[in-house]
Each structure stands twice: as C-alpha cells, then as structure tokens.
Structure 1
Amino acid sequence: MSQLTVLVADDDPNVCEIIRLFFTENNYRVIEANCGREALSLYESTNPDVILLDIMMPDIDGYEVCRQIRSKTDVPIIMLSAKGEEIDRILGLEIGADDYVTKPFSPREIIARIKAIFRRLPDKNSNEVTSDQQIYQFVNFSIHVKSRQVLVKEEKLFLRPKEFDLLLYLVQNINTVLTRDQLLERVWGIDFGGDIRTVDVHIKRIRTEFAKHEIHCIHTVWGVGYQFQNKN
C-alpha cells in the first residue's frame, strides 16, 4: 500500500502525539486538527485518504464533522471516543462512519482497521466486477455493477460504497435468507472489528432510499437475517 495521508482530529494532544509517532513510523503521513472547524478546513485543503475523528471536540463535535464530510465524499472515517455505549456506536455508523474505536486504544489496532477498510474498497483501477452479470434489471429499478449505480426511472439512488456492496450481495443471492454474520463476513470481511449491528444500520439506509420510490425489496426474516425479493 502506498503512503496514505491520515487526518487525525482530536483535542487531546497526547492522543495526537501517540498516533503521529506510531503512524509516521509505519509510513503514514499524519495531519492534525485540534477542533471540529480545523478538521473541516484541513479536510478541504489536504484531501486525506482516511480520517480519525474524535467525537468530543470543541466548537463542532465529531458527529457533525462526520455528517458534513460524508455529505461530500466517501473517504473512510473511523470514529474515536471514550464512550463505549452501543447507542454511540450506532449513531456514528448511522451518520456514515466506517468504523468505531473506543478509547483507550492501540495505534496498532487502528492501523489494522485502516488496512481492513482499504482491502474492502473496490480497486478504482480495476475493470473487474463482482459478478459475471453487469446489470441486474428489475421492474422498478436496475443495478449497474460496473458503474456501481442503482437507478430508479433514470434517477440515481444515493448509496455509499458499503451500502451498494451489501445490496449487490443480497441481489446475487435473491430469495435466500442471509444471516447478519454471513453478510458481515462477506461484505465487511472476516477481519472486521465492528459491531454486528452495522448490518442493520446499512440495511436501514438502503431501505430509506428505496422507500422514497415506494420500493420494498429487502425483507427481515425475524430471528435469522435478511432476504432480497424481486417484488414490492
């Protein structure tokens, strides 16, 4: 992996120093922000490859910074927080974070999670698709694998990369009930260290986009998992 630029946004100078020293030794370029506004400004000026974002920061908290950045880009975001409650993790995922790490943490663990995220991202230089079939055509919408688009009457749905991957895997296993563990392993990878509720959060986002067009194709099988069906 070539050198990556990491934006670290945390108002604790000790945390920034630990990350900077360890990451620099491991061939990462580190840029530091000590508050939310500075994080947003540095994001615009440096175009980092990944963002480590503390939740509790002066002026603008990490949740709002994540919302604003996610509205513009799919850059990987890992939330950092002393909070370990499930609701905090779920909120971070719902607003677009890719992962969530609770303090105190090991810098080595964060690097492992960054590597895991980039292994799961599609290769932008590759023409390879995840299936021999490049377009899935249904009555109300179509999925274009190569361009990674979902179209409803020529209108493109807004799906983040992992949401598209999850939808595609469900479609490729149409009418099959898939457990959360199966979806987590196939879409996020066996080395994913996040919460299994990640699947539920992403399913909710996909359903929200489809519901705008009164399409209901992903069904919950209670006590088991989820199933894609080609019907409303």
Structure 2
Amino acid sequence: MVNQQIYIVEDDANIRDIVNAYLKKEGGYHVTLLETAEDAWELTSTGQPDMWILDIMLPGMDGYELCKKIRQVSEVPIIIISAKDEEVDKILGLELGSDDYLTKPFSPRELVARVKRLFKRTELQPIQNNTASHLIHLGKLEIDKGARIVHWNQQEIEVTSKEFDMLEIFARQPNRAFSREELLTLVWGG
C-alpha cells in the first residue's frame, strides 16, 4: 500500500469524486479533496503533500496562480487537469512549474498512470526539511531551495545550477546510490 498524500484542487464535485476513487482504488494513495485554491493554499501552512493535482479554472484564485505559489515553497510534483486545451495554456502551466498537463475529458486510469509515473520518476521519500523556509539540513550541509544557496559548515559555497540540482537530489535521499541514467533524467530531464 502506498502512503503518498495527494491534494486534489478541483471545483467540479463529480471529477473530484471520480479521481479520488481511482487514486485510492488503483494506487492506494491518501487523497485530500479541495474545492478552491484558497482552501488548498491555507492547508499548506501545515505542510505540503507529496503531489498536487490542480484544475485551472477555479473560483477565486485560479490554478495557475496556485501552481506559481506552490513552486515558490516546494518542488513536489504538480499535475494540471484542465478543460483549457490550447497550446498556450499547456505551455503556461508547464512554465509556471507543473510537471504534467492533462486536458479534460480524460481517462481516470490515464491520470493514475501519470501519477504513478511521476512518483516513480521523482522517487519521493520523506525529506528532513523546514518547508516554511525551504531548507534541507544534512549534517553540516544546508540547502536553501528557495534562494538556491548552499552552505557547508555555515559558509556559502558557490555551485552551478546543475550542481545545485544534483546536490538537492543527493540530500533528499542521502543513503541511496543513483545510476548515471537516473541522474541524467532527474537533473537534465528525459
């Protein structure tokens, strides 16, 4: 049984219920259902889920704005589900930080497959960090994900963007060995 927590932010109750049922039945995920971006954002004060599934057209704050706010504090996977199927909408969603974009109507099984693939790719494990300040602490190492700054023994270390990405991957899973192919995929993409 999977223990990952997924927040679904969708104002259509039918879609919420169907997605919830499939994620629980086929993936064994813990799901939290939210109707508005404001409710979802308020819930982040208690911590982040392991994945977000966001609709774009929400009452009040839209899904794009929520995606942008999530990316300011977290790198957890985000999947956008939306009736907006224009290329510009998909590109905007991806540029704001979503990891995947699925247009409505969609197959719930396809969504579950995408969730599983994204979890497998990111291989999320619990991270010892302070989500409020975006810090990862590992011994004398401190990584500030928000500012993209690395400190070793309280001294700032200059690293390139790719070095930072690799260091963050290693710090998230300090007791794991990575293959060259995994690192290429995780840092440079598919």
Q: Which TM-score bucket, shorter chain as reference?
A: 0.5 to 0.7
1:8 corresponds in structure 2 to 8
Counterpart in the other structure of 1:154 = 157
Mapped partners of 2:97, 2:41: distance in 1: 16
SS of the residue aligned with 2:32? strand
Contact 2:79–2:98 (Cα < 8 Å) also in 1: yes
What are the ranges of 5 or more consecutive residues in structure 1 without an aligned counterpart?
126-146, 166-185, 189-198, 200-232
Give yes or no for contact 1:7–1:43 (8 Å, CA) kept in 2.
Answer: no
Amino acid at match of 1:107: P
Where does structure 2 lack aligned partners over 5 or more consecutive residues? 127-142, 151-155, 167-183
Please give the secondary structure, in 1, of the residue aligned with 2:106.
coil
- Poorly superposed stretches of 4+, deviation over 6 Å: 147-151
Q: Which amino acid aligns with 2:94?
A: L
Task: Find the aligned partners of 2:125 and 2:18 in 1 and give their Cα distance.
Answer: 32
Is the counterpart of residue 25 in structure 1 residue 25 in structure 2? Answer: yes
Residue 180 of structure 2 corresponds to: none
Bigger Rg, structure 1 or 2:
1
Describe the superposition over 1:124-144 as per-residue Cα deviations: whole angstroms up to 9, x where unpaired: 59xxxxxxxxxxxxxxxxxxx
Pair 31,46 (structure 1): closer, same or farther in 2 beyond 3 Å:
farther
Cα separation, 2, equivalents of 1:48 and 1:124 = 12
Matched residue of 2:81: which SS?
A: strand
Tell me if structure 2 keeps the 8 A contact 1:81–1:102: yes
Q: How many angstroms does 1:45 deviate by?
A: 2.8
Tell me how far 1:31 sits from its aligned partner.
0.6
RMSD value over aligned CA atoms? 3.1
**Rounded Cα–Cα distance in structure 1 between residues aligned with 2:125 and 2:7:** 22
Q: Distance in 1 between matches of 2:38 and 2:159?
A: 31
Percent identical pairs in the alignment equals 39
Cα distance in 1, alignment partners of residues 117 and 3 from structure 2:
15
Task: Name 1:35's counterpart in structure 2.
Answer: 36
Residue type at the aligned position of 2:40: A
> What's the CA shift for 1:156?
5.2
1:67-216 equivalences in 2 (<5 Å): 67-121=68-122, 154-155=157-158, 164=165, 187=185
Aligned equivalents of 1:84, 1:95: Cα separation in 2: 16
Question: How much has 1:155 moved relative to structure 2?
Answer: 4.1
AA paired with 2:10? D
Letter aligned with residue 53 of structure 1: L
Residues 78 and 97, structure 1, Cα contact 8 Å, conserved in 2:
yes
Whole-angstrom CA distance in 2 between matches of 1:52 and 1:42:
14
SS in 2 for 1:71: helix
Number of matched pairs? 145
Distance in structure 2 (CA, Å) of the matches to 1:46 and 1:32:
15
One-letter amino acid of the structure 2 residue matched with residue 98 of structure 1: D
The aligned counterpart of 2:173 is none
Report SS of the residue matched to 1:59: coil
Query: Quick check: 1:33–1:42 contact (8 Å CA) kept in 2?
Result: no
Per-residue CA deviations over 1:44-65 (Å, capped at 9, x if unaligned) read 3353111100000011000000
Q: What is the identity, as a one-letter code, of the residue corresponding to 2:4?
A: L
Q: C-alpha offsets along residues 132-173 of structure 1, whole Å, 9 cap, x if unaligned?
A: xxxxxxxxxxxxxxx99898x9345667xxx947xxxxxxxx
Cα distance, 1:44–1:109 mapped onto 2, change above 3 Å: farther
